[in-house]
Structure 1
Amino acid sequence: MDDVAARAGVSRTLVSFVLRGKPGAGEQTRLRVLEVAAELGYKPDSAAQLLARGRSRTLGVLLDVQQPFQADLVTRIYPAAKAAGYDVLLSVSAPGRDEVEAIESMLSHRCEGLILLGPNSGREYLEELEDRAVVVVVGKPMPPSAFDAVRSADASGIRQSVDHLAGLGHRAIHHIGGGSAPGADARRDAYVAAMRDHGLAEFIRVIPGSHDEAAGVAAGRLMLEEGTLPTAVLAGNDRCALGLMDSLDRAGVDIPRDVSVVGYDDSEIAHLSRIDLTTVRQDVDQLAENAVAFAVKRLEDDDAVAAEVIVEPRLIVRGSTGPARSVQRERSMRRRVFSR
């Protein structure tokens, strides 16, 4: 395919579209690609053809070993795949093993379908994977494409969070961003929009971060160093929220008396009584079941087309949020925290 693309003077992705009969190329370009393919004797990979016919009946699942929410998804994917008559092969991305390596490993083990949980790879690479397996992307907002997509309505989850905090009297509500993590941009944009809708534009603040505990710790230290704490913080995910809570707790800040904290994902640790985190619950059952159903449908029906499902999340209110602190409590907090 690289040879065809080079000789035809087009991208490898466009060659893929033409050879699979998908729209995206003009008629002259399509004919030129087909002519070059014939001249070079291009033939589809036989292993890929076997996979497309469902011969291995194995679904490969990519996950980030550092994200607990993805582990929750995997526990739901297994029974859904088994019910459909498919096996599951896991491959993880982690420090020292990048995402592409993890994906190629699944393909080398003849996985006919790939369920990618929160992938960081770009659209072009994901579309190229469609030449080798059926691809389902979970948890990453993507424009309509050649692969299936399943995700939560992140904007709705964030809106519910801001509505909850505003209803408790909070105005100075900060957000810790998720950097380049899947869904981070959507959550940030939803936070900004919700704050404006509540007439709180002057209090908008996005602190750069990522979806891990270190980002929460760093954000907490930054707020403490500045000498002014917001009344509430909306973290990018649960891991970030836990790091923030630890940082504030070590400084003597009471949660939620001084600062309310909201996470996102409703991972298992959020349920613990010592954590008791208010957070947005993503419907892992619906996400996992739809991901498996999409993969199986396109593996067993050559005429099936890629689709997208957006699953509604729900805010779970626990003990990490409460009424915004009063002026009197503000003074008390400053004496306790910033006089140290």
Structure 2
Amino acid sequence: MAERVDGSDTAGAGRAAAGPPRPAGGTRPRLEEVAARAGLSTASVSLVLRGAPGPSERTRKRVLQAAADLGYRPDRNASLLARRRSRLLGVLVDMRSAFHAELVEDLYVSAEAIGYDLVLSTVTRTRDEAKAVETLLDFRCEALILLGAEAPAARLAALGQRLPVVVVGRRVGGADLDVVRTADEDGVAQTVGHLAGLGHRSIAFVDGGKGVIAADRRRGYRGAMRRHHLDEHIRIVPGDHTEESGERAARRLLADGGPPTAVVASNDRCAVGVLATLSRAGVDVPGAVSVVGYDDSALSRLACFDLTTVSQNAADQARHAVTAAVERLDEGRTEPREIVLAPRLVVRGTTAATG
């Protein structure tokens, strides 16, 4: 087939120039019209438009030019339905999370590199996980990648019986699905070790609320404080994953009369809330109070925050998540797998030695 395509380059050049005009009246151009304009067979044109090997570079240029002249766009849904494959990976995401947004960008890179595409469904204040997942199933996604899912393990396990599921960011015990996460306990322990090394003893922790991820980070804080012989300074302030919770926690710490010299927040958004309240109160960061976040999101890297935080390596998480899903789909892997990545402390401008 490759020889037939190459051999038609010269013979078809005149036919390409004299091909049919671009359809009028808004009618969607068909593959046959592209083939007629390019002077090639529909099979050859299909190879080019699918990016398949075989056609010469000259042939590819002719086909793409003909498609552009006609305004042709492949009917991707019809093609996929014909093959009874959607090649769609559904992604559950909280778009209010800067870290999730970064993960989505990396997921696109990894998925598109191997011929898959993504469908996103978001969790909002008025739209829960169950609704978001049902939307992904309605789109005929072949596998699901759930970012920071908070559903009980039993519900996730039941979902994993319907199609391949990859949970990103948290532990899920006893379920036939894949997990990609960082060692959150170790990540928080690194923040405590960093602060203790700077001479801090009064190190408070703003909690992340309910859920497995929050529990792991809370446990990491307690364990690290004990290892550094700071048991009497353990101080956990209620919070969640929002800026508002960080603001409330910081106001509470300031109102207690003896604010800590360092604060570890459960994530970057919460840490930004802490920074905002301390700034309004005239508290110098890091001169009087050091602040650490978690996630190394785009927010933490802004010059106005320059936040010391913990990197979860979004690119690696995304790559492993897509690979796990595709192994299930294309290679038939059935055994569950958990991939635990090592977190990394990123020191920036919000931490310093205590005076």
Q: What TM-score does the superposition give when structure 1 sets the normalisation length? A: 0.79
* Structure 1 segments unaligned to the other structure (5+ residues): 1-49, 326-340
Per the alignment, do residues 56 and 171 of structure 1 end up closer, same or farther by CA in structure 2, a change over 3 Å counting?
same
Q: Does 1:94 align with 2:124?
A: yes
One of 107, 127, 133 as aligned partner of 2:137: 107
- Residue in 1 aligned with 2:279? 249
SS of the residue corresponding to residue 199 of structure 2 reads coil
Name the aligned partner's letter for residue 241 of structure 1.
A
Deviations 1:57-97 (A, max 9, x none): 11000001211100110000001111121111000010111
Name which of 102, 124, 140 aligns with 2:154.
Answer: 124
- Partner amino acid, structure 1, of 2:132: A
Aligned to 1:57: 87
State the match for 2:221 in structure 1. 191
- In structure 1, the residue matched to 2:65 is none
CA contact (8 A) 2:327 2:333 kept: no
Question: Aligned AA for 1:183?
Answer: I
Paired residues of 2:156 and 2:175 also in contact (CA < 8 A): no
Shift of 1:54: 7.6
**Higher radius of gyration, 1 or 2:** 2
Q: Partner amino acid for 1:158?
A: V
Residue 273 of structure 1 deviates from its aligned partner by 1.6
Displacement of 1:271 in angstroms is: 1.1
Aligned residue in 2 for 1:136: 166
CA distance in 1 between partners of 2:134 and 2:161 (Å): 13
* Residues 118 and 182, structure 1, Cα contact 8 Å, conserved in 2: no
3-state SS of 2:293 partner: strand
Matched AA of 1:304: T
| Aligned equivalent of 1:259, options 265, 280, 289 | 289
Question: Helix, strand or coil for the counterpart of 1:62?
Answer: strand
The equivalent residue for 1:26 is: none
Partner of 1:34: none
What's the counterpart of residue 276 of structure 1?
Answer: 306
* Aligned equivalent of 2:337: 307
Query: Offset at 1:102?
Result: 0.5
Among 179, 186, 191, the alignment partner of 1:161 is 191
- Aligned positions of 1:152-231 closer than 5 A: 152-231=182-261
User: SS at the partner of 1:149?
Assistant: strand
The residue type equivalent to 1:150 in the other structure is: V
Partner amino acid for 2:154? E
Superposed CA deviations along residues 145-189 of structure 1, whole A, max 9, x for unmatched, are: 200000011111111111110000000000000001451110110
Q: What displacement does 1:301 show?
A: 2.5
The structure 2 residue matched to 1:67, chosen from 61, 82, 97, is 97
- AA partner of residue 162 (structure 1): V
Change (3 A) 1:289 1:228: same
> Which residue is equivalent to 1:294?
324
> What is the CA deviation profile of residues 234-276 of structure 1, one whole-angstrom value per residue up to 9, with x for unaligned ones?
0000000000010011011000000000000011121122211
Q: Aligned with 2:195: secondary structure?
A: helix
Cα distance in 2, alignment partners of residues 160 and 245 from structure 1: 20
Cα distance in 2 for residues equivalent to 1:321 and 1:105:
43
**Identical positions, percent:** 49
- Secondary structure of the residue aligned to 2:300 is helix
Aligned-partner Cα distance in 2 for 1:314–1:243:
22
Q: Which whole-Å CA distance do the structure 2 matches of 1:277 and 1:181 have between them?
A: 25
Distance 1:293 1:227 in 2: 51
SS at match of 2:245: helix
Q: Which aligned runs of 4 or more in structure 1 are off by greater than 4 angstroms?
A: none
Contact preservation (8 Å) 2:246, 2:270: yes
Name stretches of at least 5 consecutive residues in structure 2 with no aligned partner: 1-79
| SS in structure 1 at match of 2:310 | strand
- Which secondary structure does the structure 2 equivalent of 1:270 belong to? coil
SS in 2 for 1:73: helix
* SS of equivalent to 1:271: coil
TM-score, normalising length: structure 2: 0.75
Relative contact order, higher structure (CA 8 A, sep 6+): 1
Q: What does residue 38 of structure 2 align with?
A: none
What is residue 21 of structure 1 aligned with on the other side? none
Distance apart, 1:302 and its partner CA: 2.6
